[in-house]
Structure 1
C-alpha cells in the first residue's frame, strides 16, 4: 500500500436493494444513480490496497431492532425492509460482483461522519457524488454541515486523482 493511503479505509454503507432500487418503499431518490460511482470508488480503493468495510443493515422480521420512525414498514407482511436473509437485504447488483454508501446523506452517512469527527479521526472524507438524499437540497445542506466541521467533500473524480 502506498504510504499516503496506509491510514485510509473506505466505508460502503447500506448499498442494499431495499434502500436503492426504485420499487422499494424505502428507496432513496437518486440512490440507483450513485451505484456506478460507489462501484468505481471500490475499484479505486482496491487498486490502492485500501481496506473496504461493507456496512449493511439487517433487521429481524418483526422490526424489534429497528428505529421507531421505521417501524411502520413492519406493520404488514408486504413492506418489511432489510429483513435478514431477504432479497431486499442483499447488496445491489453491481456491488456484489465486487466481492460484496449508505445512500442517505442525512442519516447513516452524516451520523458516521459526525461520530468519526467526535472520535478525533484526523481526516474524514465523504465522496459527495457517491451518496444521495431525497432531494438535492437535503443532500447539499448536509454536505455543507459536514464541510463546516472539517470534513473533505471531493467528487469521485477528485478523490480518484488525489495522490495517484
Structure 2
C-alpha cells in the first residue's frame, strides 16, 4: 500500500546495531538474537537487508564503539548506509539504495528506540513507505539518570503502542513481534 510507485518489495532495516549504541541496552542479547533470526529469514527469502551505521562527535568512525556488534555481520552484498542524524534517510543514500531494489515497505529493527528508531520510522513514513516496527527487535538504554521519566521497557512499549496506530493516505505503519514477520508484500 506504499505511495511509492513500482516499489512492491520489502527490506529489513537494521539500525545502529553498534557496540556503543547497544552496550547498555535493555534485553540486548534477546533483541540481537531476534534481529539475527530476522536477518537469516530475510536472506533465505532473498529479501534485501540494509544496515545503518551511525557516527557523531561521541562515536567516531573506526572506533571500537562505532563497530557493528559481533553477533551481526552484513553479507558482502548487503548495503551499509552511514549516517550522522537520527533519521536514517537524512543526508544519506538510503533512499537511492531502496529505490534501486524496488522497496516500498520497511521492516525496522535496531537501536535506540527513543532516538534513531523513532526518527527512521517517521522519516520513512513521510517519504511514502509502509513501515513495520518489529516489537521485540528494537531496544534502548535506561536514560532515567538524564531525566527520562520512564524505564527502557516503558519506552519500547509506548513506541510499539503508538506506532500501531500510524496511518496516512496510501501508507500504513504496524507493529509485529519477530515471529510474526512476513516479508511478503501482502
Verify same fold: TM over 0.5: yes
Residue of structure 2 aligned with 1:111, choices 119, 126, 130: 119
Query: Which has the larger share of strand?
Result: 2
How many residues are matched? Answer: 133
Q: CA deviation at 1:103?
A: 1.8
SS where residue 55 of structure 1 aligns? Answer: strand
Partner of 2:38: 41
Residue of structure 1 aligned with 2:161, choices 144, 150, 164: 144
SS where residue 128 of structure 2 aligns? Answer: coil
Q: CA deviation at 1:13?
A: 0.4
Partner of 1:94: 71
CA RMSD in angstroms, aligned pairs only: 2.3
Q: Deviations over 1:20-48 (max 9, x none)?
A: 22xxxxx3232333110010110111111
The 5 A counterparts of 1:21-100 are 21=23, 27-59=24-56, 63=57, 81-96=58-73
Q: Which has the larger radius of gyration?
A: 1
> CA separation in 2, counterparts of 1:55 and 1:91?
9
Partner of 1:19: 21
Gaps of 5+ in 2: 1-6, 79-108, 143-151, 168-172
> CA separation in 1, counterparts of 2:183 and 2:116?
26
Q: Deviations over 1:115-147 (max 9, x none)?
A: 1111222x2101111112342111111111211
Give the TM-score taking structure 1 as reference length.
0.71
Give the TM-score taking structure 2 as reference length.
0.64
